[in-house]
Structures are given as C-alpha cells and as structure tokens.
Amino acid sequence: MAEKSGVNVVRAIFELLVLLLALGVIFGGLAVIVLLSPWSQTILNKLMAYDVRFAIELLSFLAIAAIIVLLSALTVYSRNIVHSALYLLGTFAGVAALYIFLNAPFVGVAQILVYIGAVGVLILFAVMLTRKTIMEESHGEI
C-alpha cells in the first residue's frame, strides 16, 4: 500500500510540474507578445528586421496553441479532478494569451478576470466541496 501511495505522490508531483511548466511557457509567450505588440513596434523596428519579428510571432502562436491543446488533453484525461480543474485554468490562460496575441487586450483581460478569476475559482470550490461529500458517503458517515 505504501508503495502505491508513493507512486501516486510522484505522479501528482509530475502532473503539477507539467502544469507549472505549461503556465510558465504561456506567460513567457505573453511576455513575447507584449514585446511584439504595436506599442513596442517602434523599438522593435530599430532592433530587428520584419522577417525575424514575423518568425517570432509565428513561433509564439504555435507554442501557445500547442500548450492549449496539451492542457486541454490533460484536462480530459487526468484521473484527479483537482488536477483537471487546474489544467482547465491553464487552458483558459492560454486562450487569454491568444486573445492578447490577436491584438484584443480587453477581451484577453476579460478572459483572465471572468474565466480564470471567477469560473475557475467556482469550479475549484465545487470540486473541493463535492469531494468531501463523496468521501463521507463512501465511508458511510452520512
């Protein structure tokens, strides 16, 4: 039994590290997008050629899209419901990054405030509250 719980702990740590890595890449992509935004375009025109900037934008978009697909798959296939909820929050953050990438910063900020801030917290509260009820029912305490 102790061996099985050790494997579960290692797996949970691995899933948490994957989530943190994905969120780091998403927010790193957001930093790249800010550098490539129209507000900093005059500075970038002095620093690099247009072709390099286009390649960076394309690679940023592809990285963000790949992370969104990965986090969506992890949301569906994760066995732990709390991890699924956290992966869903990462997916919402990736979608917000895409909105900002598409020069719609208001929609991106609204995505962060509404989906990550409100809906994400609501989902986590629902998961945490229902897990206690399910655990109590399985032990016959209700």
CATH number at residue 115: 1.20.120
The larger pLDDT score, comparing residue 31 to residue 2, is at 31
Q: What is the pTM of this model?
A: 0.59
Predicted local distance difference test score (pLDDT) of residue 57: 80
Distance, CA of 68 to CA of 32 (rounded, Å): 17
Its sign, for the CA torsion 115, 121, 126, 128, is: positive
Calculate mean pLDDT across residues 95-103: 90
**How much is the CA Rg of the chain, to the nearest whole Å?**
19
Its sign, for the CA torsion 76, 78, 82, 88, is: negative
Residue whose C-alpha is closest to residue 85's, from 40, 19, 37, 32: 19
Q: How many degrees, rounded to 5, is the angle at CA 130 between CA 125 and CA 136?
A: 140
Domain range enclosing 102: 2-138
Distance, CA of 15 to CA of 87 (rounded, Å): 9
As for how many domains the chain has, the answer is 1
Confidence of residue 123 (pLDDT cuts 50, 70, 90): confident
Q: How many degrees, rounded to 5, is the angle at CA 115 between CA 97 and CA 99?
A: 25
